Amino acid sequence: MPGLPFRGRRRSGAATPSEETRAIVAGAASAAAAEVDPVPTVVADRTAAAFFDVDNTMMMGASLFWFARGLASRKYLTSRDIARFAWQQAKFRVAGNESAGDMLTIRETALAFVAGREVSEIVDAGEEIYDELMADRIWSGTRNLAQQHLDAGQRVWLVTATPVELARIIAHRLGLTGALGTVSEVVEGRYTGRLVGELMHGEAKAEAVRALAEREGLDLARCTAYSDSANDLPMLSLTGTAIAVNPDTELRAVARSRGWTIRDFRTGRKAARIGVPTVVGAALTGGVVGSAIALRRRRFP
């Protein structure tokens, strides 16, 4: 797969060259895997589009957590797996950033969900899991923002670290154009347990958007990006308009300093003020809080 030029200024703690390469490969793979629906019948602008993060932006909580919970109910995973994953995700969200070790753990856990399974099997399960656990967790306010772009004849893509197969399901159910997600290697219709490049995260999201824009003839200066997390600053900084939705503390501060619009659809004064990670609430309602607390006590006596 041909490499894509890496552009844009980096934040402190920039990725190493090898991480940059994986981000570029992941972005190119995600863009190549993106299914593109026909341009809307009401076409106002073919060069403008919108890009939405999923977790805590379009959906309450982490889509991969709900996917894992659905797989557990189908005996793909154990309750111990879910408790461990919930704690990893909660720590990730509370910290607001990730170390290389954290991302490696999340990546390996995600791959364990599907390794050796047929793609069609996981897609069928994903359709069911969306209906059971995700449909009611879509933020209506964010969904309305996406619809405004569609009504203007603009295309709308989800951009997420969740597997591209699940991302496509969410996009199609919401009537969006398509999705950019993490691409897993597939051989003879089965997942190998390896990723193509890296998780669709951070710089990889920006690379995916850049690659898709080049393929689809989009003018990024006329596009809009939405996210809740400072981890998505590479993507948010890439487009002409950036909007912080349910922002974490760091993104809220950056948005204010840069004059970006902030939209908060959460309830409760505390959540509105500091951006409480909704994945923690997901872990509680998921019935795994006991295991998660026990795990925390063992780690932090």
Assess whether 81 carries a catalytic annotation.
Answer: no
| Identity of residue 54 | V
| Cα dihedral sign, 278-282-285-288 | negative
User: Helix-strand-coil percent breakdown of the chain, rounded to 5?
Assistant: 55, 15, 30
| Cα dihedral sign, 288-289-290-291 | positive
Assess whether 55 carries a catalytic annotation.
Answer: yes
37, 45, 55, 228: the active-site residue: 55
CA distance 261 to 252: 10
Structure tokens at 108: 């390996």
Structure tokens at 285: 């309602």
53, 228, 232, 248: the active-site residue: 53
Degrees to nearest 5, angle at CA 264 with 163 and 234: 50
Structure tokens at 43: 């076409």
Structure tokens at 243: 């909007």
Please give the positions annotated as active site: 53, 55
